[in-house]
């Protein structure tokens, strides 16, 4: 029995949802008032509350993003700190290699000692190469993390939020 004069009673929450749907669909206040049998003041109140809720949600999203970025930046600082120590160690090793090379030049006149020094230098160069490979690997991971942070920042400032 669904006659034309029959009214459907909506809960307040359902009525608010329908007001928002109709407003977002482009209906005028007058059309919403007639369709849902509400006053213009009710529409204004619902729209104002939805706007406030949206602003609060945006604030919460921004807080989460700031927190996440802060954590990521601390992680990056830690990685950078580790690399600065490694680079310092590399410079120290480089200085030692240079000293060894100078010693090598001095030893050119004594072939037996020269062979001993060459083997020592080869071992040191191998260790230095392994250290460099580790740093390259760490730098690759750092670059990947920086790209992730840049993507997050791009999403934030591009107007799209992902959490």
The mean pLDDT values, 10 residues at a time, for the chain of 163 residues are 58 88 91 91 90 82 82 77 77 86 72 75 90 88 86 71 49
Q: What global pTM score does this model have?
A: 0.37
- Residue 43 burial by CB count (10 A; 0-12/13-18/19+): exposed, middle or buried? buried
Closest residue by Cα to residue 124 from 81, 80, 84, 94:
94
pLDDT of residue 7: 63
CA distances from 134 to 6, 83, 126, 141, 147 (A): 77, 10, 13, 11, 20
CA distances from 66 to 22, 57, 91, 107, 148 (A): 35, 14, 37, 60, 14
pLDDT of residue 75: 79
pLDDT of residue 137: 87
38 with 19: CB under 8 angstroms? yes
Rounded to whole angstroms, the Cα distance separating 60 from 34 reads 36
83-93 burial, b at 16+ Cβ within 10 Å, e below that, comes to eeebeeeeeeb
pLDDT of residue 114: 67
- Residue 46 burial by CB count (10 A; 0-12/13-18/19+): exposed, middle or buried? buried
Task: Give the gyration radius of the chain's Cα atoms.
Answer: 35
């Amino acid at each position: 029995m669904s006659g034309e004069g029959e009214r459907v009673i909506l809960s307040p929450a359902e009525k608010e949802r329908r007001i928002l749907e109709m407003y977002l669909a482009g209906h005028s206040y007058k059309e919403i008032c007639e369709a849902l049998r509400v006053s213009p003041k009710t529409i204004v109140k619902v729209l104002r509350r939805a706007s406030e809720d949206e602003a609060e949600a945006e604030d919460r999203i921004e807080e989460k993003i700031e927190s996440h970025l802060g954590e990521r930046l601390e992680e990056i600082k830690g990685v950078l700190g580790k690399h600065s120590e490694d680079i310092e160690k590399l410079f120290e090793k480089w200085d030692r290699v240079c000293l060894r090379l100078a010693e090598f030049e001095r030893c050119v006149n004594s072939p037996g000692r020269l062979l001993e020094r060459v083997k020592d230098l080869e071992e040191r160069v191998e260790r230095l190469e392994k250290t460099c490979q580790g740093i390259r690997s760490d730098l690759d991971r750092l670059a990947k993390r920086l790209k992730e942070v840049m993507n997050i920042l791009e999403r934030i400032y591009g107007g799209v939020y992902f959490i």
